[in-house]
Amino acid sequence: MHRLRRDVSACATDDGMVLLDERAGRYWQLNTTGALILNTLLDGATPQQTAHRLATTHPVTHERALTDVTALIDHLTQEHLVTTS
């Protein structure tokens, strides 16, 4: 399961989501697809389930969707914005 770190705040916007890393004072902006991926993961879906949802709502193959989901998870984890438990 993926979670935002406790010192990271999220706010939905008209065109995605903004994350605030309160430790570093840095903002991160996600487009609508990135926000969909993150929200789906935060709701408890696995990366595979998230990729399936992405592939059924966007013109992308399941394989490409899984690659994109994994890349976003890796990036957010490297930036210490999300954790897995």
Every domain of the chain and the residues it spans: 2-80
What's the rounded Cα separation, in Å, for the pair 28 and 32?
13
What is the spatial distance between Cα 73 and Cα 81, in angstroms, rounded to a whole number?
10
**Confidence label for 85 from pLDDT (cuts 50, 70 and 90):** confident
Q: Are 17 and 81 in contact (CB under 8 A)?
A: no
Question: How does pLDDT run across 25-53, given as a tens digit for each residue?
Answer: 999 999 999 999 999 999 999 999 999 99
3-state secondary structure of 80: coil
Residues 10-25: what's their mean pLDDT?
A: 96
pTM of the model: 0.93
| pLDDT for residue 55 | 97
State the CATH architecture for 2-80: Alpha-Beta Complex (3.90)
Q: What percent of the chain has pLDDT over 70?
A: 100
Q: Measured between alpha carbons, how far is residue 75 from residues 14, 40, 56, 57, 72 in Å?
A: 23, 16, 23, 23, 5
